[in-house]
Amino acid sequence: MIRMLASVTDPVESEIAVTAGADLIDLKNPDDGALGALPVSTIRSCLDAVAGRRPVSATIGDLPMEPACVADAVSRTAATGVDIVKMGILAGGDPQASIAAAAQARGPAALFGVILADMVSPTLDLVRAMAGAGFIGVMLDTGLKDGRTLRDHLSADALAGFIGQARDAGLSAGLAGSLRLADIGPLAALHPSILGFRGALCRNGARRDVIDQHRVAEVVHGVRVSSDRLRQAGAPDGLQAYGFP
C-alpha cells in the first residue's frame, strides 16, 4: 500500500490534512526553502492538533552538510516528540558524516533521509549510509521548486532504480517534488512506499498558499485508487515491509 504524505505548516493545516484522509503528516515551512523548518513551538502545536491520529514527521531545514549543524537540528526537532525527523541531503559538505551525526542525535525519533535530486545524485552509497545509520527510509524530492516536478529531473527507469536500491537496503522509499494529480499513476506504478505532496494540496496549486481540504481529499483518493490496483496485483506493502512505524 502506498501512503500519501501531506506537508503542512500549522495546526489548522494539520487538522485539514488528517480530516481529508492523509496518511502521514509532514511539518515544514515552504517559505524557507524546500525543507524549511518550522519553529519548535509550531511543531508542538501541530502535534497537539494531530493528537496521535497519524504519524508526524518534521524537517530540520535546508542545512549545510556539516555534522555538528545537522546533529543540533536533529536533536532539537526530535525533542518536540515527532515520530520522524526528516534530514535533507544537499550538495557540498560531508553528507556521510552528517548522516552518522544525525543517527547519534535522533533520540527516540526515527530518521528519514531526503535527497534533493535536482542538486544531489541519489547514489547507492548515500542509500547504504542511511541504512547503516539506522534510518527507516529515504525520499527523493526537488530543491529548486521552479515549476518542474521530480519526473522532469529523473526518468522512470532512474526512479525505479532508486526505489529498488532503497528496498534492497531495507528502507522505505518515498517520492516527492512538486507532484501533481497527473503524476500519481505513473509514479505509483513504480511501487514507492510514499508519495509526498504540498503544492497540489494548496489553493491555486501554489505551495506557499493554504492547503484546501477538497484538494487534499482528491490527492488522497488518487493515491488510494492507484495503491488498491497495485495491491490487487500482488504488490508488497512497502511501509510495513520496510519498517515504517
Can you tell me the distance from the alpha carbon of 106 to that of 70, in angstroms, rounded to the nearest whole number?
A: 10
Q: Are 122 and 160 in contact (CB under 8 A)?
A: no
Say which CATH number the domain at 158 has: 3.20.20.380
CA 244, 98, 78 angle in degrees (round to 5)?
50
- Give the count of domains, the chain: 1
Q: Are 224 and 153 in contact (CB under 8 A)?
A: no
Q: What's the pLDDT at 236?
A: 60
Q: What's the pLDDT at 243?
A: 46
* Element (DSSP H or E) covering residue 169: none
User: Residue 142: what residue type?
Assistant: T
- The residue written with cell numbers 525543507 in the block is 35
> Which tens digit of pLDDT belongs to each residue from 151-203?
999 999 999 999 999 999 999 999 999 999 999 999 999 999 999 999 999 98
pLDDT at 74 over 90: yes
pLDDT band at 238 (very low <50, low <70, confident <90, very high): low
CB atoms within 10 A of CB 167: 19
Catalytic residues: 28, 86
Give me the domain span that covers residue 63.
3-241
- What global pTM score does this model have? 0.94
8 half-sphere exposure, CB direction, 13 A CA radius: 32
pLDDT at 240 over 80: no
Mean pLDDT on 226-240: 73
